[in-house]
Amino acid sequence: MMQSKRQRILAATEAGDWRRALGLAATVSRRRLGEHAAAIQRGHEAHWQPEWCRQLQLDPAADIEAGKLALIEASNIRRTP
């Protein structure tokens, strides 16, 4: 049985796989993510290209954490470590 994207995102967060969860969420329509879209996208980019973020004088760890929090709010899920 095929899982929906939301189910795959929730499974990734429950497993603590934030890289995968943010990657999946980054492909969701900005309209659906609303105010959380930018933070989720930045969190995803920070996971995949931390050096690029540093070159832009951004803090990849902070962007990843902000992305996690935005995903939690956007998905109405419980935070896992």
- Domain residues for the domain of 67 are 5-75
pTM comes to 0.84
Neighbours of 19 (CB within 10 A): 14
With respect to residue 17, please indicate whether it lies within any of the assigned structural domains. Answer: yes
Give the Å distances, CA to CA, from 50 to 46, 59, 62, 75, 77.
5, 8, 11, 25, 26
With respect to residue 80, please indicate whether it lies within any of the assigned structural domains. Answer: no
With respect to residue 10, please indicate whether it lies within any of the assigned structural domains. Answer: yes
The encoded tokens of residue 36 equal 């959380």
Q: What is the pLDDT of residue 43?
A: 96
Q: What is the mean pLDDT of each run of 10 residues along the chain (81 residues)?
A: 86 93 91 90 94 94 96 73 46
Tell me the C-alpha distance between 72 and 36, whole Å: 10
With respect to residue 81, please indicate whether it lies within any of the assigned structural domains. Answer: no
Number of domains in the chain: 1
